Structure 1
């Protein structure tokens, strides 16, 4: 039973200390118990039908299979009922403890108030030996009662102080989580804005190389914030195990929202990197072809500069061969 209790305490949030909180949790748990009770009739009907099949087909494979199914149903139903019932008993124990503790505190507060009234009352002291002794004797009875209750008072103070420390730690952890969440979501928003506002990848080599460097710095910034994201998730997950039920749902939603935005940022950053790499390759290929074309054009221009001009009209064209033939003679002369 102790092991089962430990499992329940580990898997379920069992409040303690505040009777109102426990009563609220018991009211929620009652809904589950009522649901189980409502399904008891369905389980009974299935059992009855199964036993009918077993009786009708005694010794057959159908009967054997049905028997196994009924055993499985019985085990699962008992397990399903056992845990909620155990939680109910734990809640009832906690409620009794809380009410007893609160009653004890109230009794002691009343007693302390009464003692305080005795102590603050300003009474004249005895002026004669007997009256002075009587006053001291009466006070020693009161003092003895206070001394006798000292362990109880100290125990209450210790328990109250433990509760105070626990609440102070809860405040500290909650504030740390919220501050970390605010800081991280602020950075996350700026990162999302920066990525969505980035210019389209250029095919101009100088520009795309600059874009690649800028995105590398952006990805480094994301990597630097990974520990913060992990720490935030860890802190939130820890808070969920010790927080009241209405807060757990909100913490879950906050963590889920941050995780979703983080995953989208990582994915979008990777897409941006692929686009830049593709643009860089295209730009590099274009630059290579462009350089080749310029080189060819330069060579073509040089070839044209050193070639003989060809006349454009027919007469000059006819004269051109003769001139060409006379060139060697002129050179010889």
Structure 2
């Protein structure tokens, strides 16, 4: 099980794998209870067997609890990874839409000439747009940095990596406008 999936689809596949493994393990819980009960009956029937039986049962129970705890740890990691993939994907989409809007705004406010009043209005519109871009710059660049760190070990062909590359290109394009 990959406990660091980088896409929602991959996270869901890993969650399904975990559920299958979890079911395979937990189906033996009744067997564990039966073994513990049988060991108690054996020890109760013949106390001299306690020295040999109890350490084996203790080791078995310890291994069982370690396995169940590991299963829970992997579940927590997968759940966190799924949430991170959902959040990262949502953030990429949100920033991509914002950049697309700003790119469209920039293309609409190119100077077209005309009267001085028109030129002043165009300049004012440009400064408002520039201020909005500059205001969002730290958050977008922080998102790009976080996404790059998160995806550093991931598959370079995954959709989230490709969206991140597109987002970076669009950001460079908007900043160059």
CA distance in 1, matches of 2:59, 2:153: 47
Partners in 2 of 1:72 and 1:164 — Cα distance? Answer: 40
How far apart are the structure 1 equivalents of 2:23 and 2:113? 67
Question: Is structure 2 residue 11 aligned with structure 1 residue 16?
Answer: no
Q: Which residue of 2 aligns with 1:206?
A: none
Work out which of the residue numbers 55, 60, 68 in structure 2 matches 1:68: 55
| Residue of structure 1 in register with 2:36 after alignment | 47
Residue in 1 aligned with 2:162?
A: none
Matched, 1:144 2:131: yes
1:115 and 2:102 matched: yes
User: Would you say the 8 A contact 2:109–2:125 is kept in 1?
Assistant: no
**2:144 aligned with 1:154, yes or no?**
no
How far apart in 1 are the matches of 2:154 and 2:38? Answer: 54
Q: What is the match of residue 203 of structure 1? A: none
Aligned to 2:56, the other structure's residue is in SS state: helix
What is the count of residue pairs matched by the alignment?
154
1:15-49 CA deviation, whole Å, 9 max, x = no partner?
43222122212212211100111111111121122
Q: Which residue of 1 aligns with 2:83?
A: 96
Q: TM-score of the superposition, structure 1-length normalised?
A: 0.40
SS in 1 for 2:72: helix
User: Which residue is equivalent to 2:173?
Assistant: none
2:16 counterpart (11, 18, 27):
27
Correspondent of 2:74 among 77, 87, 111: 87
Is the 8 Å Cα contact of residues 125 and 135 (structure 1) preserved in structure 2?
no
Say if 2:115 is the partner of 1:127.
Answer: yes
Matches within 5 A, 1:254-333: none
Write the distance in 1 (CA, Å) between the matches of 2:154 and 2:26: 37
Give the aligned CA root-mean-square deviation in angstroms.
Answer: 2.9
1:134 deviates by: 5.0
Q: Deviations over 1:129-151 (max 9, x none)?
A: 5x655554444332222112212
Contact 1:126 1:135 in 2 (8 A): no
Which segments of 5 or more consecutive residues in structure 2 lack a partner in the other structure?
Answer: 157-177
